[in-house]
Chain A
């Protein structure tokens, strides 16, 4: 067996080779850019019962993501609109911002309703016509048909459509508030017409370059038309606002934190070299974690990258402890004396994070694996490389450590009884008062004015993105359409009874084959007596009758495919899901719903409706995502509790009766945060809970190192530095305006401060003075 030093050298070399391999692998994996995922749902559990719901949600959100809508209000509308269109079309230069811009009346001109609709017209009746024929065979329809024939302002087609069935049916379909006016697409609001522009993005709405060129194009337009007002809708605006806010905060909070962090480290170590050595483990940790996670999962979620990288930040603890000990002990430093605590610190964090790798949440699993790999990588660098690197420890560091130890010592130690009383009090408080919040508002960092514009525009266009819908499945298309019709009838009845909402139902446009057959029969009745009367009264030649009736011989059925392919049907594509495992599926979308109590009443009514019918699911997208967030939160809490219990057991093996002292900083920190939240009435959400993960990790390290009998002053300095750097890095996020970051930061701010206070107080035998130079063997 080789001597220990040469073995360590061998291991250090091996570690270097592995990292080199990782770097090569990473380069190869990133050859086409980072395969990143930004969908929130990708983080959430695979809801195996509802892949169709996922598809429906995606489809409803798609238009919102790929397009944006602008409403322009200006005194000379045509000129301003032309300018805005030109600016937008030129935006992006070489890489154009837009794939297409619809703004002229001709851009959406429907070019006729389509051949197929014309052929099927005798099977498609509006409710009004149907009722008229049912009432008296359709005699009441003769007079309006005569009027149309002799009106100078109506097209007359006595052979193909003497009763104007197609125009009536189309009129009932075309409910869009968009009008062609002066060659523009316009929407009228309070008697003012505003120009409408629909931009189809060439790139993803998250593409920073696209966001920048859109923003600068709009800014340029606003500068040259100060009199004009723009109303915006579309994911790209929200994404741009989010990115702008993040950039602003990086420059304020981020740079502030970085400056503070470097300042503190410089004050202690007085050497940039020592700081570089401290950051090296973090870099190598990321270098190990990135390619391996990509290899395991195929793609990386952006949240994984953000939170995972933060969690890897905990690894700075190991470097801090090692460097502090080296700085204080100088040449007397021996790695083996620190190794048990280092190993336990790593093991405890690994257990805490890997527990989450066992959860059914793909997002958590990825984050856990990423963080665990990163921690392990950083730890290996600390143990294998750092002791080999030269550290010019100034005597000032050692002096600082001793002075810090003396000055910050608490008066007395924490007694088990006091700890128990505190624990019971806080747990009681939490159980009594702590609320939770899983609303989606947490994920929405958009400024209020943009949200208001969004709401105003969607209300004006009558096309909100659809938060509530009925998902309907059936074995085949005819049966699906019948189900949709049945639901439509019920919903229409509710509306007649006074429930206010708008229904978007595919079956209103494509009646079931049974209804189409019944309607064709009605038209045959209409073409009997009433048509004869019309022809006679109008003085049309008798052959008109035969030729018109001949048209009813072979009328094709209108099916969903033909309807969706027609210009009018295009707008309803989002309602059709097509093939599903059990047949075919479609949505009934509900918009313009009431707010408040009425909404809740309607919710439960819709839920009951869906429960009572086969193949119907009621989905409230916002509530569903909120529920998934809640599940995510619950799962994290559950697995964390389990991991803590396991850790407590394994720590007993080393610390026996003192285990509670090791656990006091992490547990005290976490419970303390929850207690403060309970007292202040701040509800717990998934992001504040992710912050608690950080508190737990740093607290565990602090507890373990604090409980070690040896090298007290150096350890205390390292713990203080570790909590300070984490406070700067994460705690300052409490001042972020992005809700997610704010809550993460708030947890860290309170929790880390508590951890720092608890470490010295809970550490065993604080009353004895430290023996700094003792190089005692560790048990």
Chain B
């Protein structure tokens, strides 16, 4: 009995030290502004074909993400918590999708936890978060979302319920001073 208790006591600091979602959020929040490059692959199950796009991005925490496409088309998309990108004006679904994308990029676990069950594995240098929808309505669209990263978020994978797969790879990331004007 005493031995068991001692064992438990030994384990306690170990659990306290374990890498949790809060730690991860703190780690991500340490960088208020970030820029880098992206490669996005969309696999369309229905057509059995790939859509690949590349470009660079710049992201200001809690404000917005500017997503600049370079290939195959040149476009500038801006997502912010208040105004969704002008894909279809005023569409609530679009707004929700944009809000979800922002939450994923920023690691807003609290907001995400309302709609997804979250599981975290790994440590601060190599972590992995898996999200599964809680509600049936959302499960009809999204099967699973996986995030991977170290100091920054590096990979985002979204498996849609209809078989489509979205993969986003972020690279060459570096912190920037807020207000730095790099398009």
Contact = CB atoms under 8 A, between A and B. Distances in A.
Contacts of A156: 42, 44, 51, 164
B87 A112 contact: no
B44 A109 contact: no
Which 8 pairs between the two chains have the least Cβ-Cβ distance?
A171-B91, A153-B101, A150-B53, A109-B137, A153-B97, A153-B98, A148-B87, A168-B88
13 contacts: A111-B136, A146-B75, A149-B51, A150-B75, A151-B67, A151-B77, A151-B85, A155-B97, A155-B141, A156-B44, A167-B94, A182-B114, A541-B47
Contacts of A172: 90
Interface in B141-171: 141, 156, 160, 164, 166, 168
A537 interface: yes
> Which of A111, A182, A539 has most B Cβ within 10 Å?
A539
B135 interface: yes
Contact of B73 (A106, A146, A155, A543): A146
A106 B51 contact: no
A154 B97 CA distance: 6
B72 interface: yes
Interface in B83-115: 84-94, 97-98, 100-101, 114
B47 to A, nearest CB: 6
A541 B100 CA distance: 29
Interface in A137-168: 143-144, 146-160, 164, 167-168
A537 B53 CA distance: 12
Nearest to A182: B114
Nearest to B156: A152
Interface of B: 40, 42, 44, 46-47, 49, 51, 53, 67, 69, 72-73, 75, 77, 79, 84-94, 97-98, 100-101, 114, 135-137, 140-141, 156, 160, 164, 166, 168
B162 to A, nearest CB: 8
B72 A537 contact: yes
Contact of B40 (A110, A148, A150, A168): A150
A171 B42 contact: no
Contacts, number: 108
B79 A539 contact: no
A588 B12 CA distance: 68
Contacts of A538: 51, 72-73
A143 B86 CA distance: 11
A152 B92 contact: no
B77 A147 contact: yes
Contact of A174 (B51, B92, B98): B92
Contacts of B85: 147, 151, 153-154
A682 B36 CA distance: 78
Interface of A: 106, 109-112, 128, 143-144, 146-160, 164, 167-168, 170-172, 174, 179, 182-183, 537-541, 543-544, 547
A167 B92 CA distance: 9
Given A144-B87, A171-B94, 4 more contacts: A149-B51, A150-B69, A151-B67, A156-B164
A171 B87 contact: no
Contact of B135 (A106, A144, A153): A106
A167 B88 CA distance: 8
Given A148-B87, A171-B90, A171-B91, A153 B51 contact: no
B51 A539 contact: yes
Contacts of A111: 136-137, 140
Contacts of B94: 153-154, 167, 171
A769 B91 CA distance: 93
Contacts of A547: 47
Contact of A150 (B51, B92, B141, B160): B51
A106 B101 contact: no
Nearest to B96: A180
Given A151-B77, A152-B67, A155-B97, A167 B91 contact: yes
A421 B44 CA distance: 98
A109 B115 CA distance: 13
Contacts of B46: 157, 159-160
B88 A158 contact: no
Contacts of B86: 144, 147
A144 B91 CA distance: 13
A543 B69 contact: no
Contacts of B93: 155, 167, 170-171
A81 to B, nearest CB: 14
A109 B88 CA distance: 21
